[in-house]
Chain A
Amino acid sequence: MYVYADNAATTALSPAALQAMLPYFSQEYGNASSLHSVGQRAAEALQKARETVAEAINADFKEIYFTGGGSEADNQAILSGAALGARKGKKHIISTVFEHHAVLHTLKKLEKEGFEVTLLDVHENGVVTADEVAAAIRPDTALVTIMFVNNEIGTIQPIAEIAAVCREKGVLFHTDAVQAVGHIPVDVKALGVDMLSMAAHKFHGPKGVGALYARKGVPLVNVIEGGQQERGKRGGTENIPGIVGMAAAIKEATTDLEAHMAYVTGLREKLIRGLEQIPHSRLNGDREKRVPGTVNFCFEGIEGEGLLLWLDAKGVAASSGSACTSGSLDPSHVLLALGLPHEIAHGSLRLSVDAWNTEEEIDHILQAVPQVVSYLREMSPVWDELERGQTPHLI
Chain B
Amino acid sequence: MALYSEKVMDHFQNPRNVGKMEDADGIGEVGNAVCGDIMRMYIKVKDGIITDVKFITFGCGSAIASSSMATEMIKGKPIAEALELSNKAVAEALDGLPAHKLHCSVLAEEAVRAAVKDYYDKHGIQYDPAIFGCDDCAKAHEHAAET
The chain A residues found within 8 Å of chain B, CB to CB, are: 301-306, 309-310, 312-313, 322-325, 327-329, 331, 341-343, 346, 379-384
Residues of B within 8 A of A343 (CB): 33-34
The answer to whether A306 touches B38, judged by C-beta atoms less than 8 angstroms apart, is no
The answer to whether B58 touches A381, judged by C-beta atoms less than 8 angstroms apart, is yes
A327 CB contact (under 8 Å) in B9, B39, B63, B100: B100
Residues of B within 8 A of A341 (CB): 34
A-facing residues in B86-137 (Cβ within 8 Å)? 100-101, 137
Residues of A within 8 A of B18 (CB): 379
Which partner residue on chain B sits nearest A328 by CB separation?
Answer: B100
B1-45 contact mask (Cβ, 8 Å, vs A): 1 or 0: 100000001001101001110000000010001111111100000
Residues of B within 8 A of A305 (CB): 59-61
The answer to whether A346 touches B12, judged by C-beta atoms less than 8 angstroms apart, is no
- Asked if B141 is at the interface (CB within 8 A of a chain A CB), the reply is yes
The answer to whether A301 touches B58, judged by C-beta atoms less than 8 angstroms apart, is yes
**Could you tell me the dominant secondary structure of chain B's interface residues?**
mixed
A376 CB to nearest chain B CB (Å): 8
The answer to whether A306 touches B36, judged by C-beta atoms less than 8 angstroms apart, is no
The answer to whether B1 touches A346, judged by C-beta atoms less than 8 angstroms apart, is no
Residues of A within 8 A of B62 (CB): 324
The answer to whether B38 touches A382, judged by C-beta atoms less than 8 angstroms apart, is yes
A383 CB contact (under 8 Å) in B39, B58, B138: B58
**A328–B101 CA distance with the chains assembled, in angstroms:** 10
The chain B residues found within 8 Å of chain A, CB to CB, are: 1, 9, 12-13, 15, 18-20, 29, 33-40, 56-64, 100-101, 137-138, 141
**A280–B100 CA distance with the chains assembled, in angstroms:** 30
The answer to whether A322 touches B58, judged by C-beta atoms less than 8 angstroms apart, is no
Nearest 9 Cβ contacts at the A-B interface: A324-B60, A343-B33, A305-B60, A381-B40, A380-B58, A342-B34, A382-B58, A346-B36, A323-B36
A303 CB contact (under 8 Å) in B13, B20, B58: B58
Given contacts A306-B59, A324-B60, A379-B19, contact A329 B35 (CB under 8 A): yes
Residues of A within 8 A of B56 (CB): 379-381, 384
The answer to whether B38 touches A324, judged by C-beta atoms less than 8 angstroms apart, is no
Residues of B within 8 A of A304 (CB): 60
Which partner residue on chain B sits nearest A391 by CB separation?
Answer: B33
The answer to whether B1 touches A381, judged by C-beta atoms less than 8 angstroms apart, is no
B33 CB contact (under 8 Å) in A306, A325, A327, A342: A342
Given contacts A303-B36, A306-B12, A329-B35, contact A379 B1 (CB under 8 A): no
B37 CB contact (under 8 Å) in A303, A327, A331: A303
Given contacts A324-B60, A342-B34, A342-B36, contact A381 B29 (CB under 8 A): yes
Residues of B within 8 A of A346 (CB): 33, 36
Which partner residue on chain A sits nearest B12 by CB separation?
Answer: A309
Which partner residue on chain B sits nearest A325 by CB separation?
Answer: B60
Residues of A within 8 A of B60 (CB): 303-306, 322, 324-325
Which partner residue on chain B sits nearest A383 by CB separation?
Answer: B58
**A276–B141 CA distance with the chains assembled, in angstroms:** 35
Given contacts A306-B12, A309-B1, A384-B20, contact A379 B57 (CB under 8 A): yes
B95 CB to nearest chain A CB (Å): 17
